[in-house]
Amino acid sequence: MAVTVFALTLMCFGLSSSLAVAQTCVDWGSFKEQVLYLGQRGPPYRLTCPLGDVQPQNAPQTELSWLKDCQPLDTQRGKAYLEFVGLSLEDQGNYTCLQQGNSTASFTVRLVVKESQCTKAPEFKPSGGLTQLREKVGSVVKLNCTVLLLWDQNDEQCDGTLQWRKDGQPVSNLTQQNTSSWSPASDQLMVSSQLVITLRELEDFGMYSCSVRNVSSDFSLEDSSSVNHTAAVTAAFVLLLLLGGAALFYSKCHLNIKLWFKNSYGEYELSDGKLYDAYVSYVNNDYDRKFVNFILKPHLESKNAYKVHLNDNDILPGSEPSAELLMNISRSRRLIVLLSHAYLEQDWCSNNFRQGLKRLLELCQQPILILLEGQSKRMRPEIKQLLSEHQHCLTILTWKHNSVTPSSVFWKELALAMPRRVVFHSESAGDPQTILQDDKDPMLTLEPDYLDCRSDTDPDGDLGVRLPAYKAMTSRAPVLPAAPVTQPRPSDGGVSDHSYGVRTDFYCLVAEDNL
């Protein structure tokens, strides 16, 4: 207990000693308080010591020294004032100037640094921004500007005046009505100003602004009789961008778009009775044969499921085309000619290409000519001219070094020139022509399930299970007990020379008794 009392006594003694030391440099009889604000405009603030003004004339010259919170400021020794270039919160405190001579005199200034309310941005009511107004000449317009300011009555440099400007120039010849209201509780000042404008001529229109403390609220006053082309120009610009984007997209993807439309909405060419999709004519040399057999034919048959007929004979020999050649071409929907350098060296091409091209167009209305990029440059000028003249009735494709990829332009253009591709999702779908044309002829249908060639189990009576020989595809024949099938006899009148190897059960349509 004695130790605790002794410790408290020491603490009280030390606290009183420190307070006494802290107050030793402050003469409360020579003391004043000075309040300064952060960010105030004007020259640097000077804190002047008044002891130099009251010094007697005959007294010896003494030196002034400065203390801040009783701590000496050695750098300010001998100066009659302290200068503050930029005030900050760390500058506040007790500044004491000492005059030492026969007797010591002191004067203390308590410097208080506050954040000025006048440096804070004003708040416009409604929120500041651009207000657009459209009026006619001869009308009267009233512009209202209301702003809420944080206000300090002790700050002499606090600005609360609203200023009107037109196109950056002060307005002086217009009527202004200013009002203000002070709220001491919240240190706020509400200032309102109304500018009355009489629009006598076009020069009265323009940009008006209400500003205070370097912040403004703008009013755009426009003539309503003048045509505003901003919306039209913006719409035209947006439309131009859309058209440009559409043109760019079409230039990059027009082949894909055409292929999609053809494969989705194009017409099938399966009811024309033709056997092949393309008849390919080429010269039987090493280069052309490899191109046709290893590049062209596999792509058409494997990737697009086309049926291709190849012929390495002269499509137009010196004499008239053979009947077999004409028949094979007539059975094909397209005629593809590999117009290589060797192909052009044939007799019918080298002697009279014009006559040969004319006869070629007689065989097919829109033949497809494939040119090889390296060899087409050596083509004779008259041949190039003839191809250019008949370009409207020819499909000319050029095989380039980058045409190997399946997505190249060459294959897309060739797919556009070929018939619409038929895609089936089942391998047992049957003949495409029969299914698409809804042909129910049993001679054209593979493995039908609507024919029953077995004999009746009870030919003398009707048991209700006898089935017709030819039924609709929508109903399946019930499974009947197995019965021996009578082998049909060949007809006495001779058998047709057509091959019916695909179907072996159509003879059961003729009963043995009818022979």
The tens-digit pLDDT sequence of the chain (515 residues) is: 444 544 544 454 443 444 334 456 777 778 888 877 776 666 777 888 877 655 555 555 667 888 888 888 877 777 888 888 777 888 888 888 887 766 677 888 888 887 777 777 888 887 767 888 888 888 999 999 998 888 776 666 677 788 899 988 888 888 888 887 877 667 788 889 999 999 888 888 999 999 888 888 899 988 887 666 778 889 999 999 999 999 999 888 888 998 888 888 888 887 778 889 999 988 888 899 999 999 999 999 988 889 999 877 666 655 566 777 788 888 888 999 998 888 888 776 666 788 778 878 888 888 999 999 888 778 888 888 888 888 888 999 999 988 888 889 999 999 999 988 776 555 444 545 444 444 444 444 444 444 444 555 555 554 444 444 444 344 444 444 444 544 544 444 443 343 334 444 433 444 444 44
pTM of the model: 0.42
Contact 354, 385 (CB under 8 A): no
Q: Which of 312, 295, 325, 476 is nearest to 399 (CA)?
A: 295
CA 459 – CA 456 distance, rounded (Å): 6
Tokens of 502: 């695909």
Confidence at residue 43, expressed as pLDDT on a 0 to 100 scale:
72
Which segments within 215-322 are labelled E, that is strand?
215-223, 276-281, 308-311
Burial 189-201 (b: 16+ CB within 10 A, else e): bbbebbbebebee
CA 6 to chain centre: 83
> Cβ-count burial of 427 within 10 angstroms (0-12 exposed, 13-18 middle, 19+ buried)?
exposed
The residues with which 110 forms a beta bridge, in sequence order, are 33, 94
CA 380 – CA 339 distance, rounded (Å): 13
DSSP-assigned letter for residue 408: S
Q: Which of 36, 184, 212, 1 is nearest to 115 (CA)?
A: 36
Confidence at residue 462, expressed as pLDDT on a 0 to 100 scale:
45
My answer on whether omega of the bond before 298 falls inside 30° of 0, hence cis, is no
CA 188 – CA 117 distance, rounded (Å): 9
Q: Three-state DSSP class for 433?
A: helix
- Cα 157-162-167 angle, rounded to 5 deg: 120
CA 45 – CA 110 distance, rounded (Å): 14
**Tokens 């020069």 identify what position?**
203
CA 273 – CA 325 distance, rounded (Å): 17
